Amino acid sequence: MLAASPSAASGLSLRRSEEIVDLIDLFSKTQYRAKEVTPRVEAIEKRCLELFARDYKYSIIQNSSGEVCGHYPRQIVFLEYESTDGDRDRYESTVQISKLQDLVNRSKLARCRGRFVCPVILYNGKHICRSATLAGWGELYGRTGYNYIFSGGSDDTWADSEEFPEDSEVRNGDSQLFDKVRGHDIKLLRYLSVRYICDLMVENKKVKFGLNVTSSEKVDKAQRYADFTLLSVPYPGCEFFKDYKDRDYTAEGLVFNWNQDHVDAPLTIPPCFSQNLNIDWTQYQSWDLVEQTQNYLKLLLHIINSDDDSGLLVHCISGWDRTPLFVSLLRLSLWADGAVHASLEPAEILYLTIAYDWFLFGHLLPDRLSKGEEIFFFCFNFLKHIVSEKFSAVRKQRRKNSQFRDGEFTVEDLCQLRSRDRGQRHQPEQRLLPHH
């Protein structure tokens, strides 16, 4: 921060603190929908663009009224290169935004709820992307889904339809449809130079009403995704985080029950990654939530540092609980190394990841709070577990801001929010980030 009078610095810190409090207040009460935008949401969108522009030259993937995806940002940021001249020479983007927009429009049906592969972090010229998992037969052919496909509508509920056609001849034609929609998905992945796909689902397919509503790359029968490096890294869904809340927000010692009937996706990591991290992956079912999250984050950081040219896709089922958890942790960890968003201060990167990675990408915070499924709170409470050098992508220098402090402003002060600010009935000492 530039030198300023104590009163000016204090005023700036207060504004930043209030900015995040206002954001969380809105987030805790409102589900973001691209077609129902208020002035408060417009202000959040504008602020995100300002923060991205501090360090990057970017283009916009247009989603102005949710026509591409009803719960993705209206202005989806495609980061082309860091705005320093040196970085442009090293990593100038070869992606044309018009072609990218066309591929997005064509590929949106391939994934659950239309949540297509979307680049969200630019690291050393490589795109870290997020999405939902692949749509299955039930979703593509559900009655509402059928209308969505052929009318061009953007009904947010289409993936939840309970009605499916009984005509076996229609169902037998699914291979041709999958060839088409998944073919577009693969073209988009290749255009973004994505090679690695990390699937956080604990199941191979999501079954609903006896049908495969969603699928995943790892069980695609036609092996369409064989050219990609697929990693199955099963991680508990948002329901598990009610146990976290019920244990007074203590993740240590909290172990997921891997013996449930629907849990059928084993951890599968190529030897080139599993052998280089000094982690005994065979013990993953005995890890508590802290160790599991730490090890998965180490894996993701290792992947993006192991290949100079290829990007990474992270997804779960819908892509709005587990996916933003790891996208947010990646963004914050890389920022702490000075590797992304280098000019942003702690309060600014915190605002950006809450607003963009969580709110504008459709995390259902009001619903999750009402059920006690506090994966959002866990994300920021977990930061105390990743401040060491073991989580650094840059080995040469000490991780900056490991205390997440900013001169006059401390994030820990912000996080001692009153219950009304968090939108829930918590004691005042509950906070989004821990004391250090």
Q: What is the pLDDT of residues 43-82, one digit of tens each?
A: 999 999 999 999 999 999 999 999 999 999 999 999 999 9
**Active site residue ranges:** 316
Q: Give the distance from CA 150 to its chain's centroid.
A: 29
Provide the pLDDT for residue 65.
Answer: 92
How does pLDDT run across 120-171, given as a tens digit for each residue?
999 999 999 999 999 887 777 653 344 444 433 333 333 333 333 333 434 4
pLDDT band, residue 267 (cuts 50/70/90) = very high
Question: What distance in Å separates the CA atoms of residue 385 and residue 393, rounded to the nearest whole number?
Answer: 16
pLDDT at 390: 87
Tens of pLDDT, residues 198-222: 999 998 766 554 545 567 887 777 7
- Tokens representing 365 are 């915070």
Average of per-residue pLDDT across 377-385: 96
Dist CA 362 CA 114 (whole Å): 12
Q: Which amino acid is at 360?
A: L
- For position 404, what pLDDT does the model report? 47
CA distances from 177 to 158, 170, 171, 183, 274 (A): 18, 10, 10, 10, 35
Q: Tokens in use for 334?
A: 């890389």
Structure token pair of residue 265: 């996706």
